[in-house]
Amino acid sequence: MTDHKEFVQIRHAQKSFGALEVLKDISLTVERGQIVAIIGPSGSGKSTLLRAINDLDPLTGGEVWLDGVQVNRSLPFRQYEKHINQMRQDIGMVFQHFNLFPHMTARENVTMAPKMLKGLSKDEADALAREQLDKVGMLERIDYYPSQLSGGQKQRVAIARALAMKPKLMLFDEATSALDPELVDEVNQVMKKLAEEHMTMIIVTHEMDFAASVCDRVLFMDQGVVVEEGPPEVVFKSPEKERTRAFLRKHLEGAR
Amino acid sequence: MGLDFTVIPKHIDIILLGCLWTIAITAAAALLSFFGGIFFAVIALYAPAVIRLPFRLFEWVFMGTPLLLQLFLIYFGLVQIGVDLPAFVAGVIGLGLHFAVYNSELIQTAILSVDKGQMEAARTVGLSRGQALRKVVVPQAVRAVIPPIGNNMIALLKDSALVSVIGVSELTLSAQRAIGATYRPFEFYILAAAFYYAINLGMEWVQRKIERRIALSR
Ligand SMILES: Nc1ncnc2c1ncn2[C@@H]1O[C@H](COP(=O)(O)OP(=O)(O)OP(=O)(O)O)[C@@H](O)[C@H]1O
Ligand SMILES: [Mg+2]
């Protein structure tokens, strides 16, 4: 393992959907073990930026690097598919709506990809499922289907599924936004635990308190640009930019 | 001459044998139509045009022409180009492909209505598009259309009577043979109808079992 200080690097990311420019020259560096929160109003491009990192929404300009390898390399189609499938194994992603596979139990959700892609034996896969589901506190529900789980439980299984590939980086896109308020905390606890284990994470969130408590750095995005970035104490308590202040003020009002 | 159901026991063995053939041909054709349906659906949605377009033509032939004609073509027509299939095999292929085309329509629609987050989640853990289709999207699509596929399979059972014309001794042909020996069409056609109905009930029972088994995993 090389120790690139720039573990994740986004260089001049630009993204347009047709005529709509959603990301305008965004650059961002994340060090190994760092946790970065991205906040900003709806439609500001947070998800698009996150999804550019694992190439779910390919950039129209700029580069994404992970641990010294360019994710969005330009390669002929077949080679690119191989390359990106390999890269994605290192990048876990957690979605707002969980996207668990409904036809698989928690165990199968966790082990399907490792079995297919890493050729785990049945015993190895079983041990992996227990390890990962235990980590998110879902070991007792190992043979439950998603339809039998609450939202918070589903999200924890989804995190276990991502962790099972032993990713170097975890991306969270509003992992708790779809949850009933009383279920938010159990998911936040799991994310905190990952933070304590020094997992590198990029977290898109609307929860300022949570962001303040776990993140090393906060990015405020608006209309496709990073307006302000810095440690949470600064961005949340004494932001420099008027746009940041306005957003936080509005957000506080909304929360009340 | 009134009705006389006492003639039945003497010929019941031929009818029962016909039943077995009907069950066998229906089961084999149903399997072919199920997996063929998945295969055609994936081709229709994802294959490059050079493969997709010939399949479209093939699909048109199977949807736009009578099943009876298709059976004649497969059984009598193919012999001319050196493919001499046993009647049972020809019947299974004809029925199976015919209904595969109908199943394919259902499965295509179902594949397109699987939430796109499913494909994304599968790609995110590193699966290729083909792997994601096979393990994540298609199994969900198929589960969603088990009820209408079940209806197609009941239709398949009823249409299996058509293979009597190429000489498979299934239930309808067996009834006709019994009638030939006894001149009792009403009794034996009623009997055959009762057996079709019983098989139909059996199929519905299997379908309910499958639906119950997958109920949680949807
Ligand atoms: N596939 C797409 N096609 C066209 N436009 C898109 C697409 N995805 C996103 N957009 C547009 O890009 C802009 C940024 O969207 P994005 O989802 O990144 O915002 P966001 O910051 O994540 O918002 P939210 O907080 O509501 O999730 C929006 O105007 C959105 O309508
Ligand atoms: Mg978003």
Question: Which pLDDT score, from 0 to 100, does residue A57 have?
Answer: 95
Question: Which pLDDT score, from 0 to 100, does residue A255 have?
Answer: 61
pLDDT band at A3 (very low <50, low <70, confident <90, very high): low
Q: Which B residues in the span 114-173 are in contact with A, Cβ-Cβ below 8 Å?
A: 115, 117-118, 120-129, 131, 135-136, 139-140, 143
Q: Could you give the angle at which helices A151-163 and A106-118 cross, rounded to 10 degrees? A: 20
Residue of chain A minimizing CA distance to B136: A101
Question: Which pLDDT score, from 0 to 100, does residue A2 have?
Answer: 52
Confirm whether A1 is domain-assigned. Answer: no
What whole-number distance in Å separates Cα of residue A31 and Cα of residue A88?
Answer: 19
Cβ distance B126 to A89 less than 8 Å, yes or no, reads yes
* Domain, as residue range, for A89: 6-253
pLDDT in tens, A139-157: 999 999 999 999 999 999 9
Which residue, judged by its Cα, is nearest atom 31 of ligand 1?
A43
What whole-number distance in Å separates Cα of residue B125 and Cα of residue A101?
Answer: 12
Confirm whether A11 is domain-assigned. Answer: yes
**Ligand 1 midpoint to CA A44 (Å):** 7
Cβ distance B120 to A56 less than 8 Å, yes or no, reads yes
What whole-number distance in Å separates Cα of residue A163 and Cα of residue A119?
Answer: 17
Confirm whether A134 is domain-assigned. Answer: yes
| Contact (CB, 8 A) for A224 and A193 | no
pLDDT in tens, A165-194: 999 999 999 999 999 999 999 999 999 999
The set of long-range contacts for B80-84, using a CB threshold of 8 Å and a minimum separation of 24, is none
Cβ distance B120 to A88 less than 8 Å, yes or no, reads no
What whole-number distance in Å separates Cα of residue A125 and Cα of residue B182?
Answer: 65
| Total tally of structural domains belonging to chain A | 1
Helix (H, G, I), strand (E, B) or coil at A243: helix
Confirm whether A168 is domain-assigned. Answer: yes
CA-closest candidate to residue B216, choices A105, A200, A188: A105
pLDDT in tens, B58-113: 899 999 999 999 999 999 999 999 999 999 999 999 999 999 999 999 999 999 99
| Contact (CB, 8 A) for B44 and B217 | no
List the pLDDT tens digit at each of the 218 positions of chain B. 688 888 899 999 999 999 999 999 999 999 999 999 999 999 999 999 999 999 999 899 999 999 999 999 999 999 999 999 999 999 999 999 999 999 999 999 999 999 999 999 999 999 999 999 999 999 999 999 999 999 999 999 999 999 999 999 999 999 999 999 999 999 999 999 999 999 999 999 999 999 999 988 87
Closest Cβ–Cβ partner in A54, A102, A113 for B217: A102
Closest Cβ–Cβ partner in B126, B139, B218 for A113: B126
Taking the model in full, what pTM does it have? 0.92
Instruction: Give the ipTM of the model, two decimals please.
Output: 0.93
Statement: residue A256 has pLDDT above 60: no
pLDDT in tens, A53-110: 999 999 999 999 999 999 999 999 999 999 999 999 999 999 999 999 999 999 999 9
User: What domains does chain B contain, in order, with CATH numbers?
Assistant: 5-217 (1.10.3720.10)
Report the gap between the CA of A95 and the closest CA in chain B (Å): 8
Q: Could you give the angle at which helices B185-214 and B146-159 cross, rounded to 10 degrees? A: 160
pLDDT band at A251 (very low <50, low <70, confident <90, very high): confident
Cβ distance A56 to B123 less than 8 Å, yes or no, reads yes
Report the gap between the CA of B212 and the closest CA in chain A (Å): 13
CATH of the domain at A59: 3.40.50.300
Statement: residue A50 has pLDDT above 60: yes
Using a 6 Å cutoff on CB, does residue A205 contact ligand 1?
Answer: no
